[in-house]
Amino acid sequence: MRTSITIEVRPTEIDGMGHVNNAKYLEYMEWSREDWYNKMGLPFDTFTKMNVGTVTVNININYRKEARQGEKLTISTDTVRKGKSSYVLRHEIRNEQGELVAEADVTSVTIDLKLRKSVVVPPALTKVFS
């Protein structure tokens, strides 16, 4: 299921080149990912009750177009694939004209919070990949 949020680029997110600093795009994607989990009925507390955490292990990002202060950006999150203990979510950031600003595939692994070892993706998360 695809979800999205819209943000406005703030002055503190701009670098010396006058556009959004590259690291901020990862933050935008994290905000969208958190929103995705919540809309899937999987807020942080739900994972904690299952003794499961999610750990980002890989981010493959492509920067396509610069964004500047005051622009409104829409960040979407969607499922790509699920493995035994890992899963991939895709993010796209688009400007108000619908142009692709950045895109990334983010791989996460589910872990046992006490043992700090990977575990099978829980059924509650598996079902959103069906």
Helix, strand, coil share of the chain (percent; to 5): 25, 40, 30
Interval 50-72: pLDDT, tens: 999 999 999 999 999 999 999 99
15 is catalytic: yes
> Above 90 in pLDDT, residue 130?
no
**Can you list the domains of the chain with their CATH numbers?**
3-129 (3.10.129.10)
What are the C-alpha distances in Å from 34 to residues 5, 54, 58, 69?
Answer: 10, 11, 17, 23
- Per DSSP, the three-state class of 4 is strand
pLDDT at 22 (0 to 100): 97
Token reading at 39: 């809309």
What mean pLDDT do residues 103-111 have?
98
Percent of the chain with pLDDT over 90: 98
Q: What is the pLDDT of residue 85?
A: 98
Q: How far is CA 25 from CA 51, 84, 127, in A?
A: 29, 28, 28
* Prediction pTM value: 0.95
* 26-55: pLDDT as tens digits: 999 999 999 999 999 999 999 999 999 999
